[in-house]
Structure 1
Amino acid sequence: MSEGLKRVYGIDLGTTYSAIAYVDEHGKPVIVPNQESERITPSVVLFDGDNIIVGNTAKESAKVEPHRVVSRVKQHMGDPNYVFEHDGQVFSPEDISSFVLRKVVGDAELALGEEKITDVVITCPAYFGTPEREATANAGRLAGLNVRAVLNEPTAAAIAYGLEQGDDQTVLVYDLGGGTFDITMIEIKDRLIRVICTGGDHRLGGTLWDEAIVMYLADQFREQTGLDADPMDDPEVLNDLFLQAERGKKTLTQRDKAPFRVTHAGQQARVELERTKFDEITKHLLDRTIELTREMLADAKVKGHEGFDKIILVGGSTRMPQVRERIVADFAKEPESFDPDESVAKGAALFGLKESLEESVREILAPEGAVANGSANEQSLEAASEEQVAEALDRIEKQLGFTLTGPVRDLVNTKIVNVLSKSLGVVARDDKNKDVVVYLLPRNGEVPMEYSSDFGTDTANQAGVDIRVMAGERDSPEPLDCKDVGTATLNLPPSLPARSPIRVKFAINRDGRLIVTATDLTGGASIDVEFETEAVLNAEEVAERSSALRLLNVS
């Protein structure tokens, strides 16, 4: 693309696999293969001396050398207690994720001949809260990238899907990846993609189906050989079993049975796993996805959405025949398999193009001098007429030297509405002097949104108030049922009586970043905090850490 339109890449930073995409001159999102000519890259990191290796080589060593390999780190994003130690160094989930990002971005630069890829949109599960989203953004910054947005994976898939659809419809995005499960209801209309409700489980994914196969193979080995020895106790055997399990699972999508060989303690067992048996030993996992889907549909019904038109399948694990069969049996709809491994990265790339196009249109429509003083982006596109936007897009096409397709032009001013995945509240004392969570922002409420509530000080002459922010999935008032987001402190003037009013306001932006304002209504003191939790590095720490990590050789 020309200098007049910044190319923004979409990255699906997955639990088990990652991918990168861009939108070409024909308006089509395109996946960029890695150096191994594969369209997706295992999100696995191997520490090999002074080198950090990402991808298949790391994956093949995962169970053999667990002290040197990190996999499925996405499940720990935003967790301040998780670290990986190697050779005297400590690495956070953001550090590990930044290595995966450097791999996919570096390979894309080589494949496309790009001097430098800078601007990206990175995706995350819909249920990620504030700490996880900010950690994801920081992973990109640690990799030296300008993260334009952190986008929900089902929303990204819906953007890619909606670009190809002409009719208004409400769809369920059933996203079963290698490590996570999302279920989301999305309304797609002309110039509108609206998330209605979302749910999921961040530890429910295809790797659990692999584990079920491995445990079955170990049981069959003991049964056939009569040995008490467990093949799963040997790291090399276990690694081989997991690699076989993943291959066998794929075989069972095409055939009714798959062969396996288990070698351990000088004995060997040959096992033939039939698809019916595979479905039986993993039924509880599939049951859980259906249970979560029904919970989400119940939430949608409360919001006035009684039904849906289509179910689209996203994520490589949806290729398993059991998924399609169960959905048809339970919901009486034939699901559509939509680009399972690639739709999320492609949708993120389209979202990036939307951001870039809107930025360029704003600059063209801005009053003279606004671009120079940096205020062009403040002009709302909604205030511009369709004719003005069309003329601006015509000018962009002339700069580019090619024609933007109709659906791509329609991305400008397409409204994308997301919802909050967890309710957000504060810890307060009830009339029995017990700590309870009082929610201000509801789960599945549309973002951006804000809400204020008044509380009171506990005692006279209180020196300060701790605003302890909590995230809850099912609105439990018990702090132990919730996750700590962080704490902000409001200092108070002396001599305030007990029950002096404190107003707390929560505001969450479209990227899921929470801004908390607390005001002493008696004395006028206030704090205004864009929440940075203990789990998340601040800007200075990111810059310092990025400089250190860039010295490491990642391939």
Structure 2
Amino acid sequence: MSAKSKKIFGIDLGTTYSSLAMVDDYGKPVVIPNSDNQHITPSVVFFDGENVVVGEVAKESSKIYPNDVVSFVKRSMGEPDFIFEHDGKMFRAEEISSFIIRKVVQDAELYLNEKITDVVITCPAYFGINEREATRRAGEIAGYNVRQIINEPTAAAIAYGTLESMGDKVVLVYDLGGGTFDITMIDIQSNAIEVICTGGDHNLGGKDWDDRIVAYLLQEFQNTTKTEEDILEDPDTCQDLLLSAEKAKKVLSQRDKTPVLITHGGERVKVMLERKKFEEITQDLLERTVALTHEMLEEAKKKGYWNYDEIILVGGSSRMPQVATRIAQEFSTTPRIFDPDEAVAKGAAIYGWKLSINEGMKQKAAEKTGKTAEQLEAVSDEELNGVLEEVEQLVADDTGYDISDIKRSRVQIKNVTSKSFGIIAHDSNDQEVIFNLILKNTAVPTVITKTFGTAIDDQEAVSIQIMENESSETIAPPEQAVVIGTAVLNLPTGLSADTPIDITFKLNEEGRLEITAVESSESRRIKATVKTRSVIQGEEFEKAKARSKSIAVS
């Protein structure tokens, strides 16, 4: 690839494992091995004195130093109350995640012998604004230029549509990861990959299956030793059981039973865990994914999609035999397991490669037409038809890619929002309600304007509470929503009640929300990108970036 084209790498920032991928000189997405020559790195962070260790060593260290190790931090992204304290220093989830990003990037730089600056990072489709912004902040704290945050099932579908799919088809992407679950319907066409609907639960994943094993082992230990002691209160024992549970789960994907040894307080108990028992104690978790799939399918019907052609399973936890069996039973379709550990990272890499190639094409098109990149945004492909083929060939010559790869990079990616966004308003009975301007599963980017009225005469200001929720209805109860931001519009004096206030919500492709409020009589206006205290920012953010430079990650 030419030095003129900036490489953009893809990062799958997972709950339990993370990885980094790139598109090679032949247009093929590949995952870069880490320093242990593995394609996935445990998303585990060990605070070892002044240094930070990430990966397999950190995971093993959790047995001996459980209080110095952080696992599953992805589940705390965007949570304002999450703080990990070590050696008198406070770390937010974004900063801990930044260490994971640094680790996979550093290992890739060593392997490739080149500097990495630009990345695309994935997140669960069901992440809201807080979690998405926290993910972006993690990449920025690590010192990288985060070009885009994209949904994990969309990334998997990009990889599938690029590498495997033949012809147009509608696919369900069932993504059961280590800590999150997404179910997404995607329409894959020759010139576009379009997300139709998405659903899921970002607190449901393989870890919950592990936790059920741990609870069962605790019960068996108590029954065997005739004690009621909760051995999970011992951090060392608890961590040891969690690691044993994860290993047992993986073994049971291949075998019908596996022994698990529990050691605590001088007692040693051997438990033979059978796959049948494992599936029995986790059945309700699996049923939750089935219910969420049905919910998503009902939403898809509202958009005219009553059928689908294929179900693909991604995410490491989809390897459990019970998953494919139950999905086939419920939906009368044999699902296909597609590259569960690497599909998301590869899809992110393809997306980053597409960004890079498209930037090169815009530059060449601007040179050929004499227009600026901004002016070209308003020009259709049909209008550029005489120029596009020449531009594609120029970019192919510049990058060394085949012309077919360049054409493939122009496939459009169309996404939807997984949440609804609205404001607190008063209904005809003067009761507070959520009025949703943007409903979940709306195609993005989108811009919606609605007119509201002031509540009383001579109102001095309008306080706008911006709410995020999961309702599919325009009107929703406030208790079903969370406040993600506020904005205040000061008003001129002398306005009567019901003076019109136009409120506009603008949501971009990666889930960033901008709000504009206008009072028309004097054209008073406020405009703000929604920011929240739930995400590290300002001075704290700058300090985290500076501190990151002084902390060695290995």
**TM-score, scaled relative to structure 2:** 0.95
What one-letter code is carried by the residue in structure 1 that aligns with 2:306?
E
Is 1:229–1:265's contact at 8 Å kept on the other side of the alignment? no
* Matched ranges for 1:76-95 at <5 A: 76-95=76-95
Once the two structures are superposed, the pairs formed by residues 244-283 of structure 1 within 5 Å of their partners are 244-283=244-283
Q: Which moved more, 1:101-110 or 1:543-552?
A: 543-552
Q: Deviation string for 1:109-143 (max 9, x for gaps)? A: 011101x2001100011111222211111111111
1:31 is aligned to 31
Q: Percent identity?
A: 48
**1:355 match:** 355
The answer to whether the 8 Å contact 2:92/2:536 transfers is no
Q: Answer whether contact 2:328 2:335 (CA < 8 A) is retained.
A: yes
CA contact (8 A) 1:359 1:377 kept: no
- 1:118 maps to 117
CA distance in 2, matches of 1:262, 1:301: 49
Kept in 1, the 8 Å contact 2:393–2:403? The answer is no
Q: Deviations over 1:487-529 (max 9, x none)?
A: 0111111222222211101111112111111001222101111
RMSD (CA atoms): 1.9
In structure 2, the residue matched to 1:135 is: 134
Q: How far apart in 1 are the matches of 2:233 and 2:192?
A: 53
Q: Give the Cα–Cα distance (whole angstroms) in 2 for the partners of residues 194 and 47 of structure 1.
A: 42
Match of 2:468 among 463, 468, 471: 471
Q: Distance between the aligned counterparts of 1:290 and 1:512, measured in 2?
A: 26
How far did residue 100 of structure 1 move?
Answer: 0.8
Distance (whole Å) between structure 2 residues aligned to residue 411 and residue 531 of structure 1: 35
CA shift at 1:243, angstroms? 1.3
**Structure 2 equivalent of residue 391 of structure 1:** 390
Distance 1:425 1:229 in 2: 49
Instruction: Report which stretch shifted further, 71-80 or 539-548.
Output: 539-548
Q: Amino acid of the residue matched to residue 97 of structure 2?
A: S
| Deviation readout 1:36-75 (Å, 9 max, x if unpaired) | 1111111111111100111122222336544322221111
Matching of residue 418 in structure 1 with residue 399 in structure 2:
no
Equivalent in the alignment of 1:53:
53
| Cα distance in structure 1, aligned partners of 2:65 and 2:223 | 28
Q: CA deviation at 1:369?
A: 9.7
* Amino acid aligned to 2:451: D
Q: Indicate whether 1:482 and 2:475 are aligned.
A: no
**Which residue matches 1:198?**
198
Task: Indicate the residue corresponding to 1:296 in structure 2.
Answer: 296
TM-superposed CA distance for 1:383, in Å, is 5.0
Contact kept? 1:362, 1:381, Cα under 8 Å: no
Change (3 A) 1:387 1:71: farther
Partner of 1:430: 427
Q: Distance in 2 between the 1:552 and 1:298 partners?
A: 49
Asked if structure 1 preserves the Cα contact closer than 8 Å seen for 2:94 and 2:536, the reply is: no
Q: Structure 1, residues 297-335: CA drift from partner, whole Å, max 9, x if none?
A: 111111111011000000000000000100111011111
SS state of the match for residue 366, structure 1? helix
Amino acid at match of 2:296: M
- Indicate conservation of the 8 Å contact 1:167/1:189, yes or no: yes
SS of alignment partner, residue 493 of structure 2: coil
Compute the displacement of 1:454 (Å).
1.1
CA distance in 1, matches of 2:379, 2:533: 35
Structure 1 pair 342/359, CA: closer, same or farther in 2 (3 Å)? same
Q: 1:211 to 1:306 in 2, by over 3 A?
A: same
Residue number in structure 1 paired with 2:516: 517
1:21-47 Cα offsets, whole Å, 9 max, x none, are: 000011111101111111111111111
Please give the per-residue CA displacement for 1:286-306, whole angstroms capped at 9, x wherever unaligned.
010001001101111111110
Pair 1:453 & 2:450 matched = yes
CA distance in 1: counterparts of 2:409 and 2:386, whole angstroms: 13
Cα distance in 1 for residues equivalent to 2:89 and 2:211: 30
Secondary structure of residue in 2 paired with 1:334 = coil
Counterpart check, 1:440 vs 2:430: no
Look up the match of 1:179.
179
Task: Give the SS at the match of 1:352.
Answer: helix
Gaps of 5+ in 2: none
Q: Which moved more, 1:463-472 or 1:362-371?
A: 362-371
Deviation at 1:392, TM superposition (A): 2.1
Residue 229 of structure 1 deviates from its aligned partner by 2.7
Q: Deviations over 1:336-393 (max 9, x none)?
A: 111001000000000011110010011111046969x875874657356456333223
The structural deviation recorded for 1:108 is 0.6
CA positional deviation for 1:459: 2.1
Give the corresponding residue for 1:404. Answer: 402
Which moves more between the two structures, 141-150 or 171-180?
A: 141-150
How far is the alpha carbon of 1:460 from its aligned partner? Answer: 2.1
Residue deviations 1:134-159, cap 9 Å, x none?
Answer: 11111111111111110010000000
Mapped contact 1:126–1:153 kept (Cα < 8 A)? yes
Amino acid at match of 1:404: D
- Judged with a 3 Å threshold, the aligned counterparts in structure 2 of structure 1 residues 541 and 236 are, in CA distance, closer, same or farther, namely closer
Q: Is the 8 A contact 2:149 2:510 kept in 1?
A: yes
Q: Please show how residues 224-235 of structure 1 align to structure 2 within 5 Å.
A: 224-235=224-235
SS of 1:499's equivalent in the other structure is coil
In 1: Cα distance, 2:113 partner to 2:359 partner: 25
Match in the other structure for 2:313: 313
Native 8 Å contact 1:381 1:413 kept in 2: no
Task: Return structure 1 stretches of 4+ with deviation > 6 angstroms.
Answer: 368-371
* Contact persistence 1:141–1:542 (CA under 8 A): no
Question: Which residue in the other structure is 2:13 paired with?
Answer: 13
Q: Cα deviations across residues 428-452 of structure 1 (Å, max 9, x unaligned)?
A: 1223332211010011010011111
CA distance, structure 2, for counterparts of residue 535 and residue 63 of structure 1: 31
CA distance in 2 between counterparts of 1:378 and 1:529 reads 24
How far does the alpha carbon of each residue in 1:54-110 deviate from its partner, in whole angstroms, 9 at most, with x for none? 112222233654432222111121222222222222211111111111111111101
Mapped to 2, the partners of 1:123 and 1:64 lie a distance apart of 32
- Compare 99-108 and 524-533 and name the one that shifted more: 524-533
CA distance in 1, matches of 2:411, 2:336: 24
1:547 deviates by 2.0
Distance 2:156 2:19 in 1: 13
Contact 1:366 1:379 in 2 (8 A): no
SS of 1:67's equivalent? helix
Q: Identify the range of structure 1 (435-444 vs 264-273) with the bigger mean alpha-carbon deviation.
A: 264-273
Cα distance change of structure 1 residues 526 and 242 upon mapping to structure 2, 3 Å threshold: same
3-state SS of 2:6 partner: coil
State the match for 1:338 in structure 2.
338
Give the counterpart letter for 1:282 in structure 2: T
In the alignment, the residues of structure 2 paired with residue 344 and residue 167 of structure 1 have an alpha-carbon distance, to the nearest angstrom, of 21
Q: Report if the CA contact (8 A) 2:467-2:482 is conserved.
A: yes
Whole-angstrom CA distance in 1 between matches of 2:314 and 2:95? 27
Are residues 228 and 533 of structure 1, via their aligned partners in 2, closer, same or farther at CA, if it must alter by over 3 Å?
Answer: closer
